Structure 1
Amino acid sequence: MASKWVVCSTAVTFGRGSSEPVDRLEAAGCEVRFNPYGRPLDKKEILEFARDADAIILGNDDLPASVIRRMKKLKIIARYGVGFDGVDVAEARDLGIQVTYAPASNREETADFTFGLILDLERHISQMVIDTRSGGWTKRTGTGLYGKTIGIIGVGQIGTAVARRALGFGMDILGYDIIQRNEATVYGVVYTTLNDLLRRSDIITIHLPLDETTRNLISSRELNLVKPGSILINTARSGIVNHNALDKALQSGRLSGFAIDVFSKEPPDHQPYYDYDNVLVTPHVAGNTYESSQRMGNIVVDNILAVKSGKEPPDPVTPQHLYESMLSMGQVVLNKQMPGTLHQLEGK
């Protein structure tokens, strides 16, 4: 009798909001193992936990070539999420290992949460809740969203969902991306350069993947361009914003507020600005709801069971994704001055 497929999940929230994905794997004869640490694993811990895995459900962990090569039974890396930074996709493909992801699985939830953070910052909701609970009665004057300009950096699935919500609030919408998608313009997005977006936006929200072209994309120069008193939201990747420059912008008042839900490691090292009254820090939960947990879990399971059955998975990382991964190797660079363009680096 064939041995059970071993499926190891480093994704902390897999199976937590809904048991259906786990039940499906077990019904298909899989042995399912769960993250024993409650946080992303380092390389040594991944090997200890999943060395004999046939499938790995990968959370916010890195999976470099050095680890992939030592997982001799591995047949599929199923990313529990919409991104795949930190995974050596080329190495996996060379070894015949499928790499899949869960596109758009938490798009609406992340867009909802983004607007929750915006409303909280602009109307000082959390500050007033804390004050009132402690016996205070301070009626803080907030800022309305109607007629304001929101700048969306990264107008993909989530960025477009944010635009739909902004349209409902009666906002003007600017967008910046290397690809200008027509769908977003239906919801009022006007594409422009990054510099122009920063200068004109009252609210700036980031929805980009992290690679070497987007790391520290928002740093001192960019923050010096923003409209004084604007707010910045980051539910994408921590490394897109330079945190020393961010701290200075908050202290100077250039930014009147900041909200972050993403971190380079979890739990993160405490940053001084976490303690500021105009900063919101949440534990990477923007896309985490009961509905998205079930949806994302089932997408991951669909991919695993397809590979287990010898079929092509429905959500593979495609050659287009591999092209985008070239960005992280510096073979193409993003020009901050020109919307929707890629420029080849000479001599690469």
Structure 2
Amino acid sequence: MTGTPYRILVTPRSFGKNDPEPFRMLERAGFEIVRNPQGRILTRVEMREAARDVDGIVVGVDPLDREVLEAAPKLKTVAKYGVGTDNIDMDYCRERGIRVTTTVGANAEAVADFALALMLAAARRIVPIDAGCRRLEWGKVTGVDLHRRTLGLVGMGMIGKGVARRARGFDMRILAYDMARDEAFARETGVEYVDDLRELASNADFISLHLPLTPSTHNLFNAELLSLMKPTAVLVNTARGGLIDEDALYDALKHKKIWGAGLDVFEQEPPENRKLLELDNLVIGSHTAASTFQAIDNMGLMAATSLVDFFRNYAQGGTNE
């Protein structure tokens, strides 16, 4: 595109792992690719060093706060490998004119699948049953049904809607809480919107969270909301760990105030609250809900396309739009 190639930092370990086409796209565009040197999520110090002389970044959950961004004076665009931007200082990006894109929809079906998997695993105690069977313990473990139970969806974006569609196959009643309502989708799927999150918490047998993490949603599910849930209820989170007060959740699970939980995300990853790992009514994932071959390929292609399109426009004198 220019005489001097743009330098692109790629931090997600799964980017181009199954299908190398995203890397090929960047190479065909003449970019110089800087790969994650650690093979894991980078720390703030490592990100400052890696981003120091790059023009674009494909970023996963590595920190891109103001401190990191200030160390990258040449940075013009960020392609988020996913949809959550809580690890990116969006205000500073706007201040600097750094364009940020996300791969909206690329992993929605994969995450919706995983949310259902966590519901089933927690409801039917799949993990402790599996562990017991490996010890040749063949006793019966009683669980709770999904069929014809009530599902509460907190957040009705593409993933929340995907979970709703799947829940129809279990003949579930579906309650939803979202500030922006899609009434057409509600009519199509039989979703019932509620005005009060406490109403959803007290009536749902399963609750699945699909919200971005913001100051207003941090620790949204706190001790008060958890206390309203049924003793046979299951809480699932495939969005962001900070949506749940982990100390309050530990208390609810430890003292059997709710039936179980399925978490693919934590406030800190791996979790600092290690006592959560001791609970047999908690199913845990390693922020892996979006990790399917299809979703990874989709995210990689969308992120690479975003960078190629941006720099083609930039080289022609376009703006950071």
- The ranges of structure 1 where at least 4 consecutive aligned residues each deviate by more than 4 angstroms after the TM superposition are none
Give the letter aligned to residue 5 of structure 2.
K
Shift of 1:99: 1.0
Q: Which residue of 1 aligns with 2:163?
A: 162
- Kept after mapping to 1: 8 A contact 2:62/2:87: yes
Q: Which residue of 2 aligns with 1:30?
A: 31
Q: Which residue of 1 aligns with 2:190?
A: 188
RMSD: 1.8
- Kept after mapping to 2: 8 A contact 1:155/1:184: no
Stretch moving more, 109-118 or 21-30: 21-30
Give, in whole Å, the separation in 2 of the partners of 1:4 and 1:82.
Answer: 28
Task: Tell whether 2:72 aligns with 1:68.
Answer: no
Shift of 1:105: 1.0
Q: Where do residues 1-348 of structure 1 align in structure 2 (5 Å cutoff)?
A: 2-185=3-186, 186-192=188-194, 193-310=196-313
The gaps in structure 2 that reach 5 residues or longer are none
Shift of 1:229: 1.7
Stretch moving more, 236-245 or 91-100: 91-100
**Residues 4/311 of structure 1: CA separation in 2 closer, same or farther (3 Å cut):** closer
- Kept after mapping to 1: 8 A contact 2:254/2:279: no
**Residues 113/175 of structure 1: CA separation in 2 closer, same or farther (3 Å cut):** same
Give, in whole Å, the separation in 2 of the partners of 1:258 and 1:173.
Answer: 18
C-alpha distance after superposition, 1:264-322 (max 9, x if no partner):
3333325212121111111111011110111010110111001110169xxxx99xxxx
**Residues 17/47 of structure 1: CA separation in 2 closer, same or farther (3 Å cut):** same
- Kept after mapping to 1: 8 A contact 2:25/2:305: no
Shift of 1:183: 4.3
Give, in whole Å, the separation in 2 of the partners of 1:17 and 1:216.
Answer: 36
The gaps in structure 1 that reach 5 residues or longer are 319-348
Shift of 1:48: 0.8
Give the letter aligned to residue 189 of structure 1.
V
Give, in whole Å, the separation in 1 of the partners of 2:63 and 2:13.
Answer: 14
SS at match of 1:204: strand
Give, in whole Å, the separation in 1 of the partners of 2:274 and 2:237.
Answer: 15
Give the letter aligned to residue 190 of structure 1.
E
Shift of 1:93: 2.6
Stretch moving more, 297-306 or 45-54: 45-54
- Kept after mapping to 1: 8 A contact 2:201/2:225: yes
- Kept after mapping to 2: 8 A contact 1:114/1:233: yes
TM-score between the two structures when normalised by the length of structure 2: 0.93
Give, in whole Å, the separation in 2 of the partners of 1:121 and 1:148.
Answer: 14
Shift of 1:66: 3.0
**Residues 131/213 of structure 1: CA separation in 2 closer, same or farther (3 Å cut):** same
Identity, % of aligned pairs? 37
SS at match of 2:68: helix
- Kept after mapping to 1: 8 A contact 2:111/2:290: yes
**Residues 60/309 of structure 1: CA separation in 2 closer, same or farther (3 Å cut):** same
Q: Number of paired residues?
A: 314
Shift of 1:118: 0.8
Give, in whole Å, the separation in 1 of the partners of 2:191 and 2:41.
Answer: 36
SS at match of 1:310: helix
Shift of 1:156: 1.1
Stretch moving more, 4-13 or 36-45: 36-45
